[in-house]
Chains A and B, each alone.
Chain A
Amino acid sequence: MTVNKVIVTNLAVLQGKYSAGFRRVRDAIARLIAADKKRGLTTLHVAIDSAVDMRSAGGSPVTTASDRRQAKAAIDAVWTAYTPDYLMILGAPDVVPMQILRNPTRGDGDANVPSDLPYACAAPYSSDPSAFLGPTRVVGRLPDLLGGTNPAYLVSLLGTAARYRMRPREAFQRYLGLSAQVWQASTALSLAKVFGNSTALQTTPPRGPNWTNAQLARRAHFINCHGAESSPQYYGQPDGKEEYPVAHEAARLKRKVSNGTVIAAECCYGAQLYDPQDSAGQAGICSTYLADGAYGFFGSTTIAYGPSEGNGQADLICQFFLDSVLNGASLGRATLEARQRFVALYTHLDPTDLKTLTQFYLLGDPSIQAVGAVPHALSRTKAFKSAFKGAKTTTGGRAFRRERLARTGTNLARSVGATRPVKTRPPTHVTRALNAIAKESRIKELSRQSYAVSFPTSASSGDMKQFAATRRGRSVYVLFGEKITPDKVKRVVALAATVEDGKIVHMRRVHSR
């Protein structure tokens, strides 16, 4: 039997959370599987804590729900056994844990980075984020509420997924674009790239958080604001001032989000799943969007990064996600394509790039195709309709896409390098150069960090041999400093020197936002 989609969850945990109400969850899962069947998808429900289910998958059951190593091994086994087109993790991290990766930008306040990226990679369990540079799998998480006891929330999300319908591209052309005022140039650039214009950009201040019903009803939302841990609000910021007015809040979304909305949020902690008790019972913005009928939410678990001008890091990965969605990709494929496009931009991922890759993930059923792809004219011919009854693409279409994505991810894993923090001190001339730039730029030093850049051995095959020698001696040295802007606002600046065989070959200055 060909399995197109697998739903993985920990049944014992769900039963424990919802007690008698678990029956409603089980029925909702069955309805989703039935709805998938009508759409031509064979969906299998696998309990990773079930000895029977895991034996069928050739793996071991999860015996401790929070054991990340067990969860990764179980999901890998399920993937290998069924090679589905879509893998949906059902439940919040207290049902199926997120993988906890070492924070590549240590010192920024995040102890680590909770991530679903490892589930999208063939690489085995590791807490090293650089082990997961080559995602190949289409994965998303349909969450319930962390610590939840009422099944209504999860039943509602499963129902939205079961009843989903594809809409034409035009239904997503009118968007809601929210930005902290201080980042409006960067956000305008992102909107222009994704939608072809930035005319609907709204900034906080002066506006927000009381967005009109018409604005909130638009089906594509792109958000570039501040966010914070366990907070049901996003925040704006005026140019040149340390003020953070509320830009967007969960409590104002209820019954205002259109069915089918897709959101990309660059905000720090923008897609963090926290216990609503942390915020007097109010679930986060991402959870509230999904409860109100949104199909998918792409955001970050932790502190996110972006350059002071232009686009980078969070801007790019969010753009790539929405771009794929609008071009007709399923939400899960859009997530995988965004990750792959992001990694493919670089020879090696520096610490902030690596954190960006690990922290962004999809909340939603990965098999949902929110936007209908434009079919080829051939599909309107009688001969095509006869050959592929009722289909707008050939049956091999998705299989070819999965093959391409697997090839791309595999190649990335074999060819892209990553930085790892090391304790070595920079060469004297590098220290001198960083000090000179810091002095000229009036930057007061806060800290320094050295990184080694390493590549897999397969990254030096074929024409890549010519770069092998220089790569071996590549390292990155970063000076974090503080600068007072003319309007008296403190800004952290990172000066990064890339060094090869003792020579400085590249320098970059990254401003905090």
Chain B
Amino acid sequence: MILQGRVVRKRVSLGSKSEHEALVLVTADGEEYRLRRQEGNPFRDPELDVLEGKRIECEGIVRDGLVIMTQWSVLG
């Protein structure tokens, strides 16, 4: 699946054992997807940190509000 949107940092899994800050893709229609690089650390991935604040297009597997990205590009 291919998605486009802006990458923001948000606190997720609120109140749970694994509550943490994560990069979230917010699409033009307001849908939110947590971003993960396939085989990347789901909690903190320096390779994805550089995407914060940028508009990207990404391709990957979508599972219940999560995108497991296989590739991506920065749109601006």
Contact indicator B11/A303 (Cβ below 8 Å): no
Interface positions of B from 18 to 44, Cβ below 8 Å from A: 18-21, 34, 36, 38-39, 41-44
A231 in the interface (beta carbon within 8 A): yes
Contact indicator B41/A280 (Cβ below 8 Å): no
Contact indicator B19/A235 (Cβ below 8 Å): no
Interface on A for B, CB 8 Å cutoff?
105, 107-111, 183, 226-231, 233, 235, 242-244, 246, 266-268, 274, 277-280, 303-306, 314, 352, 446, 480, 482, 490-492, 494, 510, 512-513
Partner of B19, one of A233, A279, A513: A513
CA distance A449 to B20 in the complex (A): 21
Q: Which residues from A are CB-within-8-Å of B36?
A: 228
| Nearest-neighbor residue (CB-CB) of B32 within chain A | A109
CA distance A179 to B8 in the complex (A): 30
Contact indicator B44/A109 (Cβ below 8 Å): no
Q: Which residues from B are CB-within-8-Å of A303?
A: 13, 16-18
Contact indicator B68/A512 (Cβ below 8 Å): no
Contact indicator B38/A305 (Cβ below 8 Å): no
Contact indicator B18/A513 (Cβ below 8 Å): yes
Q: Which residues from A are CB-within-8-Å of B11?
A: 482, 490, 492
B50 in the interface (beta carbon within 8 A): no
Partner of B16, one of A231, A233, A268, A274: A268
B74 in the interface (beta carbon within 8 A): no
Contact indicator B44/A279 (Cβ below 8 Å): no
B53 in the interface (beta carbon within 8 A): no
Contact indicator B18/A230 (Cβ below 8 Å): no
Interface positions of B from 52 to 68, Cβ below 8 Å from A: 61, 63-66, 68
Q: Which residues from B are CB-within-8-Å of A226?
A: 17-18, 20, 43
| Shortest Cβ gap from A93 to chain B (Å) | 13
Q: Which residues from A are CB-within-8-Å of B39?
A: 279-280
B76 in the interface (beta carbon within 8 A): no
* Residue in B13, B16, B19, B39 with the greatest tally of chain A CB atoms within 10 Å: B16
Contact indicator A305/B41 (Cβ below 8 Å): no
| Nearest-neighbor residue (CB-CB) of A268 within chain B | B18
| Nearest-neighbor residue (CB-CB) of B45 within chain A | A244
B12 in the interface (beta carbon within 8 A): yes
Partner of A231, one of B17, B21, B42, B64: B42
| Shortest Cβ gap from A337 to chain B (Å) | 23
CA distance A110 to B64 in the complex (A): 8
Q: Which residues from B are CB-within-8-Å of A229?
A: 42, 63-64, 66
| Shortest Cβ gap from B66 to chain A (Å) | 5
18 residue pairs from A and B, CB less than 8 Å apart: A105-B15, A109-B16, A109-B34, A109-B65, A183-B17, A227-B18, A228-B36, A229-B66, A230-B63, A266-B17, A268-B13, A268-B16, A304-B16, A491-B19, A492-B11, A492-B19, A494-B15, A512-B19
Contact indicator B41/A278 (Cβ below 8 Å): no
Contact indicator A244/B17 (Cβ below 8 Å): no
| Shortest Cβ gap from B42 to chain A (Å) | 4
| Nearest-neighbor residue (CB-CB) of A313 within chain B | B17
| Shortest Cβ gap from A231 to chain B (Å) | 5
CA distance A280 to B19 in the complex (A): 25
Q: Which residues from B are CB-within-8-Å of A314?
A: 17
Contact indicator B41/A244 (Cβ below 8 Å): yes
CA distance A285 to B61 in the complex (A): 20
Contact indicator A512/B14 (Cβ below 8 Å): yes
| Shortest Cβ gap from A115 to chain B (Å) | 15
Contact indicator A512/B41 (Cβ below 8 Å): no
| Nearest-neighbor residue (CB-CB) of B40 within chain A | A231
6 nearest A-B pairs in the assembled complex, by CB-CB distance: A244-B43, A228-B42, A268-B18, A512-B19, A513-B17, A303-B16
Q: Which residues from B are CB-within-8-Å of A352?
A: 15
| Shortest Cβ gap from A279 to chain B (Å) | 7
| Shortest Cβ gap from A367 to chain B (Å) | 31
Partner of B17, one of A246, A306, A491, A494: A306
* Residue in B11, B15, B43 with the greatest tally of chain A CB atoms within 10 Å: B15
Q: Which residues from A are CB-within-8-Å of B61?
A: 230, 277-278
Contact indicator B17/A278 (Cβ below 8 Å): no
CA distance A492 to B15 in the complex (A): 5
Given A229-B42, A352-B15, 14 other A-B residues pairs in contact with their CB atoms under 8 A: A108-B13, A109-B16, A109-B65, A183-B17, A228-B18, A230-B66, A267-B17, A303-B13, A303-B16, A303-B17, A306-B17, A480-B14, A490-B21, A494-B15
Q: Which residues from A are CB-within-8-Å of B34?
A: 109
| Nearest-neighbor residue (CB-CB) of A107 within chain B | B14
Q: Which residues from A are CB-within-8-Å of B42?
A: 228-229, 231, 235
CA distance A501 to B13 in the complex (A): 32
* Residue in B14, B36, B41 with the greatest tally of chain A CB atoms within 10 Å: B14
Contact indicator B15/A228 (Cβ below 8 Å): no
Q: Which residues from A are CB-within-8-Å of B38?
A: 278-280
Q: Which residues from A are CB-within-8-Å of B18?
A: 226-228, 267-268, 303-304, 513
Contact indicator B44/A244 (Cβ below 8 Å): yes
CA distance A463 to B20 in the complex (A): 45
Contact indicator B64/A243 (Cβ below 8 Å): no
Partner of A111, one of B14, B41, B44, B64: B64
* Residue in A109, A305, A352, A482 with the greatest tally of chain B CB atoms within 10 Å: A109
Q: A231-B42, A278-B61 are in contact. Are A510 and B15 (CB under 8 A)?
A: yes
| Nearest-neighbor residue (CB-CB) of A308 within chain B | B17
